[in-house]
């Protein structure tokens, strides 16, 4: 069987991130397929640490806007908030790949939403996977897949 696509891997990683899965075996693998180089729980943990590097004071104003949005507007508000956060960071850290900033902002906002808006957790999780697949997955593929992305 061929390896999972970056988009499929992204959804699994986001699932691990939201479910706080500590190891790959906790995931159900209906076809028994497992990639040796792909550990979504490890990647999710690295992403969690990446998101934790920033203070919540930066996130809170953006999350207030997301909380006010109806579930059908979460995606638009989430994308807008990630882009605003990245614009701020780009002026401070121009040497970092823009995709990495998008990833940091997405993870940070998603985890904050998980903690503070549990009723939106499923919508935010789906929105994160869609956003990351649309905006970051091509870069992840260029890096050689999720196992090769510099997250530390």
In this predicted model, what pLDDT tens digit does every residue of 7-42 receive, in sequence order?
999 999 988 888 876 555 555 454 545 555 788 888
Element (H, E) at 2: none
| Residue 99 and residue 152 in contact, taking contact as beta carbons nearer than 8 Å | no
Mean pLDDT of the chain: 78
Based on the structure, what is the number of domains in the chain? 1
Considering the entire predicted model, what is its pTM? Answer: 0.63
Does residue 63 sit within a domain? yes
Does residue 124 sit within a domain? yes
Taking the chain, what is the end-to-end CA distance rounded to the nearest angstrom?
Answer: 30
Residue 130 belongs to what domain range? 6-146
Does residue 57 sit within a domain? yes
Question: What is the CATH number for 64?
Answer: 1.10.437
pLDDT at 131: 92
DSSP codes of every residue in 42-102: HHHHHHHHHHHTS-HHHHHHHHHHHHHS-GGGHHHHHHHHHHHHHHHHHHH-TTS-HHHHH
Does residue 48 sit within a domain? yes
pLDDT tens digit sequence for 73-98: 878 888 888 888 887 776 666 566 78
């Amino acid at each position: 069987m061929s390896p999972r696509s970056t988009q499929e891997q992204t959804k699994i990683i986001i699932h691990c991130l939201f479910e706080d899965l500590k190891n790959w075996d906790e995931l159900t693998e209906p076809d028994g397929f497992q990639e040796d180089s792909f550990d979504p729980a490890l990647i999710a943990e690295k992403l969690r640490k990446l998101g934790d590097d920033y203070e919540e004071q930066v996130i809170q104003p953006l999350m207030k806007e997301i909380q006010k949005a109806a579930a059908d507007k979460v995606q638009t508000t989430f994308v807008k908030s990630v882009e605003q956060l990245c614009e701020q960071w780009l002026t401070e850290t121009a040497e970092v790949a823009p995709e990495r900033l998008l990833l940091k902002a997405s993870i940070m906002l998603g985890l904050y939403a998980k903690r503070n808006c549990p009723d939106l957790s499923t919508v935010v999780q789906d929105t994160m996977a869609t956003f990351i697949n649309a905006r970051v997955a091509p870069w992840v593929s260029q890096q050689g897949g999720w196992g090769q992305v510099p997250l530390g």
